[in-house]
Amino acid sequence: MSNPYGFETRCVHGRPDRAFEDGARSVSFPIYQTATFGHTFIGHGQFNYTRQDNPTRLHLEETVAALEQGVDAIAFASGMAAISAVMELFSPGDHVICGEDLYGGTTRLFNNVNIKNGVGIEYVDTTDIAKVRAAVRPETKAIYLETPTNPMMNVSDIRACAAVAKETGALLIVDNTFLSPYFQKPLLLGADVVIHSGSKFLSGHNDTISGFVVVKDQALAERVRLLGKTTGGMLAPFDSWLVMRGIKTLALRMEKAQQNALRLAKALRENPHVTAVYYPGLPEHPGHELSLRQTSGFGGMLSFRVDSRETAERVLLGVKLVTFAETLGGTESLITYPLTQTHEMVAEDIRERLGITDTLLRLSVGIEDAEDLLADLTQALEG
Ligand SMILES: *Cc1c(COP(=O)(O)O)cnc(C)c1O
């Protein structure tokens, strides 16, 4: 859908030609807290039953579609519900090439559910396009990746993966949770499907869970919508409203988080207890050049390695302003221990190869004062 407005305007107002206008024209879109909708004729109305369709969720979906520049977005009750629905596109015998450095819950879904149901999942280093191409088989139906990855911040070439997917007749599915459409628009780089955990930057306040599937093809949108309605993990009206409210400030939050992340990345690099900093915004990061070509920013996520497990524990338990907690992408800065919190499901050999060890820490940088965050991390590192 063509949209005359810039990104920030879309964040605040959604689509200019909303499919549904509430009669009172309230500035804050109303929460249609209802299970069902009355009909005035025989057949399906514009809205029928909230699992299937709801005006509040629809407004949010139109907003997210407008941000990613897709034809449609479907809102789910969590990122995992969104990914589960997308994986229902595949049948026993189908082959899916997946990045090996994925969100731990995604790996758990693939390993415990999709493989059981006969979908062949093959983990590949998607930062190496030759490895992606070499993994293609006649039955390959999709390439699934995250970029930058969680937690190693590795960057994959979306355009190059899209070219391989196109040659193969497979879908390219990109989980865009880490950068949000503010910094990266995979559909414009050739991807077919974008996934979001809306629990992270989109909602942005660590106060709700949600997920999205955004597509650029109408027929595929209808298939995913039908899968959502059928499997039932759709986002509730109140949560839809919360995510919508969060999105209004997405651009401002992403800018501030990035500014803070760059400040922390540079300062941590100089700390004697820190042995490596993984942030694509640093010129020495292996994905820096590629990021400059495919994104408009580096985001608010970074990981760093410390000199020992003792230091890692001291930081996790010693921070006072930053919270030691899972999740990311909110106004509050959080620090995570990927080894035990988010990536215990990843096979040990892959973990070792990637560097997800007992000295690795992941930081979701919030929008606080950068100097306060730095002072807190410094005192925790020094102990
Ligand atoms: C959190 C996350 C998910 C899962 O989303 P939930 O909303 O927690 O279900 C998927 N992908 C990435 C990259 C994530 O960070």
Expressed in angstroms and rounded, the spacing between residue 210 Cα and the centre of ligand 1 is 9
Residues whose CB falls within 8 Å of the CB of residue 116, separated by 6 or more in sequence, listed in order: none
Q: Looking at ligand 1, which atom is closest to the CA of residue 210?
A: 7
Q: What is the pLDDT of residues 315-325, one digit of tens each?
A: 999 999 999 99
Three-class DSSP category at 97 = strand
Q: What is the pLDDT of residues 197-247, one digit of tens each?
A: 999 999 999 999 999 999 999 999 999 999 999 999 999 999 999 999 999
| Percent of the chain predicted with pLDDT > 90 | 89
Q: Looking at ligand 1, which atom is closest to the CA of residue 198?
A: 7
Q: What residue has token string 């998607």? A: 126
**Pocket-testing residue among 64, 78, 80, ligand 1, by greatest number of atoms within 8 A of Cβ:** 80
Whether the pLDDT of residue 152 is over 80: the answer is: yes
Q: What is the pLDDT of residues 261-287, one digit of tens each?
A: 999 999 999 999 999 999 999 999 999
- Residue 2 pLDDT class (50, 70, 90 cuts): low
Whether the pLDDT of residue 357 is over 80: the answer is: yes
Crossing angle of helices 370-382 and 309-318, in 10° steps, is: 130
Q: Is the peptide bond before 148 cis (omega within 30 degrees of 0)?
A: yes
More confident residue, 101 or 62: 62
Q: Looking at ligand 1, which atom is closest to the CA of residue 327?
A: 1
H or E stretch covering 167: helix 158-168
The reported pLDDT for the residue numbered 350 is 83
Q: How far apart are CA 266 and CA 46, in angstroms?
A: 52
| Token output for 12 | 């605040």
Burial call 283-313: b when 16+ CB within 10 Å, e when fewer: eebebeebbeebbebbbbbbbbbbeeeebbe
Expressed in angstroms and rounded, the spacing between residue 82 Cα and the centre of ligand 1 is 9
The reported pLDDT for the residue numbered 323 is 98
Instruction: Tell me the average pLDDT of the chain.
Output: 96
Q: Looking at ligand 1, which atom is closest to the CA of residue 199?
A: 7
Do residues 56 and 32 lie in contact, with contact meaning Cβ atoms separated by under 8 Å?
Answer: yes
Whether the pLDDT of residue 1 is over 70: the answer is: no
- Residue 45 pLDDT class (50, 70, 90 cuts): confident
- Residue 62 pLDDT class (50, 70, 90 cuts): very high
The overall pTM is greater than 0.85? yes
Q: How far apart are CA 318 and CA 297, in angstroms?
A: 30
- Listed residue (347, 355, 351) closest to 111, CA to CA: 347
Rounded to an integer, the average pLDDT of 102-130 is: 96
Q: What is the pLDDT of residues 132-142, one digit of tens each?
A: 999 999 999 99
Cα angle, residue 186 at apex, residues 296 and 28 outer, rounded to 5°: 80
Rounded to an integer, the average pLDDT of 292-318 is: 98
Q: What is the pLDDT of residues 164-201, one digit of tens each?
A: 999 999 999 999 999 999 999 999 999 999 999 999 99
| Token output for 233 | 């993990």
Expressed in angstroms and rounded, the spacing between residue 79 Cα and the centre of ligand 1 is 5
Which sequence positions are flagged as catalytic? 51, 103, 175, 200
| Token output for 43 | 């057949």
- Residue 22 pLDDT class (50, 70, 90 cuts): confident
Do residues 281 and 266 lie in contact, with contact meaning Cβ atoms separated by under 8 Å?
Answer: no
- Residue 340 pLDDT class (50, 70, 90 cuts): confident
Expressed in angstroms and rounded, the spacing between residue 375 Cα and the centre of ligand 1 is 29
**Pocket-testing residue among 150, 153, 196, 199, ligand 1, by greatest number of atoms within 8 A of Cβ:** 199
Whether the pLDDT of residue 81 is over 80: the answer is: yes
| Token output for 153 | 């911040």
Do residues 331 and 382 lie in contact, with contact meaning Cβ atoms separated by under 8 Å?
Answer: no
Rounded to an integer, the average pLDDT of 297-325 is: 98
Which residues have C-beta atoms less than 6 Å from ligand 1?
A: 78-80, 103, 105-106, 146, 150, 175, 177, 197, 199-200, 209, 211
Whether the pLDDT of residue 7 is over 70: the answer is: yes
Q: How far apart are CA 213 and CA 224, in angstroms?
A: 8
The reported pLDDT for the residue numbered 351 is 87
Q: Is the peptide bond before 151 cis (omega within 30 degrees of 0)?
A: yes
